[in-house]
Amino acid sequence: MIRVECPLCKYKMPLFFEETAECSGVMVSCKGRNCHARFELRIKNGKQIK
């Protein structure tokens, strides 16, 4: 399982995906301290696009 990472602060989110995952259009709020980014989670070929 691969962990979702915030593209701004690199915080590792409590959110995981499999190598077979494909995803777009999913909005995630970063839980990192001092980072209130909301980013679109995009996964292609089992990798998060940052």
Positions in the binding site for Zn ion (CB under 5 A): 6, 8-9, 11, 30, 32, 35, 37
Within the chain, how many helices (H) and strands (E) appear?
Answer: 0, 5
Q: In what order do the strands lie in the sheet with 47-48?
A: 23-29, 38-44, 47-48
Please name the amino acid found at residue 19.
Answer: E
Q: Which is nearer to Zn ion, 12 or 19 (CB)?
A: 12
Tokens standing for residue 31: 């839980």
Q: Which is nearer to Zn ion, 11 or 17 (CB)?
A: 11
Least Cβ distance, residue 22 to Zn ion (angstroms): 23
Q: Which is nearer to Zn ion, 15 or 37 (CB)?
A: 37
